[in-house]
Chain A
Amino acid sequence: MKVNIEMSENTDFELVKKFLEGDESSFNRIINKYQQKIYWHARRMTGTHLDADEIVQEVLIVMYKKLKDFQFKSSLYTWIYKITSTRSINFLNKKKIKRIISFEDANSSETSSNEDIISDIDTRNKLKKLDELLQKLPAKQREIFIMRNIDGLSYEEISKIKGKSVGGLKANYFHAFNKISEMMKNEFPE
């Protein structure tokens, strides 16, 4: 496992180096490698495909512009995750402000689009229910829950991405988990 991570980091290093030397195709390879992780994090955070797609485009542009400043002090994955996390939170904040200004109902925009990349109806319905639960959590708790429970990141990795202490992250995760647990009990009573 450790060897795999080192090999991955080595490959990332080479890809970044080649891109900085002018090889545009290296950036395409970086996108191909991390696009699913970027998309699914954004998708879980926002709950809709269209919003996730908008965040993905923003993240890729930021990566393209800022990759020259990347110092390899963390892994490329951590760096990309950090950008995705920041962009997702910013997107949600902007959306919240827009909603307040336009007196829009919180649920109206989320149900307005049926565009999705999940074609299987059962899977889509299951994800919709999970999205509804996730969207009821505060954004920061939702993010920790996604990182820990769904993405399976360690607290140390989350700490590097979010710049928060492991203790604080654990507390946030347990709060989020308890809320999800309560909501699921109400949603699916025995």
Chain B
Amino acid sequence: MNSQNEKILNYIEGEMNDKERAQFEEILKNSPELQKQLASVRAINDEFSIYSQPASEESYFRNMVPGFRSKLPGRLKRFPLQSVAFASMSLVIVSMFLFLLLNKSDNIDKITENLNDHQLTELINNYSSDKSVSEVVSNENASDTTIESVVDTLYTKEFNVAPEAVSYYFADRRSDLTSVIQDINQEEADNIYNEMINKKYY
């Protein structure tokens, strides 16, 4: 049966040479069984012929190209400008960062190099938001009493205490502080000031 199918298929599909074909047809004429098998094989082929090109919705095939284009991964979309734009943006950001970094200290030096002490003090007064500091700076030549009031103000602001309580906390130290201020030189004063402004007291 199976080997007959093989011969029948070869016959139907034109895989036999002339001699084989003639022999097969001779047997076929005289064999009702083979004729039946041939009809059976042809019936199978006919059944499957419907699958060779079945009627289907054309819209599916019409939409195949747009569908494929929309699903195409980004990197396959052949758009090199994306990488160019990214590289350009990165370059601009790095350039800006370097420009600011290199010019930061130069700008301050350029602004202050031609100023005398008085102008520099005014500049600090104008641009400082810390009033207590500007008060101290502007009163650098004031009397001891003035210094005491400025120091009181500093205590009030730095230690966050009420003005009337300053004398309670710092009365004993005030005279010591005045003598210390008078005795220290400029370099020591700078060091103390730097330590004060860098330290958090509360």
Contact = CB atoms under 8 A, between A and B. Distances in A.
A163 interface: no
Interface in B1-40: 1-2, 5-6, 9, 40
Contact of B78 (A24, A35, A120): A24
A123 B54 contact: yes
Contacts of B40: 181
A130 B51 contact: yes
A100 B2 CA distance: 33
B68 A31 contact: yes
Contacts of B52: 150-152
A123 B49 CA distance: 12
A119 interface: yes
B193 interface: no
A88 to B, nearest CB: 15
Size class of A's contact patch?
A: 35 or more
Contacts of A178: 1-2, 5
A64 B72 contact: yes
Q: For chain B, what secondary structure do more than half of its interface residues adopt (helix, strand, loop), or is it mixed? A: helix
A123 B50 contact: yes
A79 interface: no
Nearest to A130: B51
Nearest to A64: B76
Interface in A1-38: 22, 24, 28, 31-32, 35-36
B64 A31 contact: yes
A32 B78 contact: no
A73 interface: no
A130 B47 contact: yes
Interface in A152-185: 152, 173-174, 177-178, 180-181, 184
A60 interface: yes
Contacts of A39: 60-61, 64
Contact of B5 (A31, A123, A177): A177
A93 interface: no
A44 B51 contact: yes
B65 A117 contact: no
B76 A130 contact: no
Contact of A150 (B5, B51, B67, B78): B51
Interface string A103-131: 00000000000000111100100110010
A81 B5 CA distance: 28
A23 B47 CA distance: 42
Given A123-B50, A130-B48, A61 B76 contact: yes
Interface in B115-167: none
B191 interface: no
A74 interface: no
A174 to B, nearest CB: 5
Given A57-B71, A180-B44, A35 B51 contact: no
A102 B98 CA distance: 57
Interface string A131-152: 0000000000000000001111
Nearest 4 CB-CB pairings of A with B: A117-B57, A117-B60, A117-B56, A60-B68
Given A39-B64, A117-B57, 17 more contacts: A22-B78, A31-B64, A32-B65, A35-B64, A36-B53, A40-B53, A57-B67, A57-B68, A119-B56, A123-B50, A127-B51, A130-B50, A149-B48, A174-B5, A177-B9, A180-B44, A181-B5
23 contacts: A22-B78, A24-B78, A36-B53, A39-B61, A40-B51, A40-B53, A40-B54, A44-B51, A57-B67, A57-B68, A61-B68, A61-B71, A61-B73, A61-B76, A118-B56, A118-B57, A123-B50, A130-B48, A149-B48, A152-B52, A174-B2, A174-B5, A177-B41
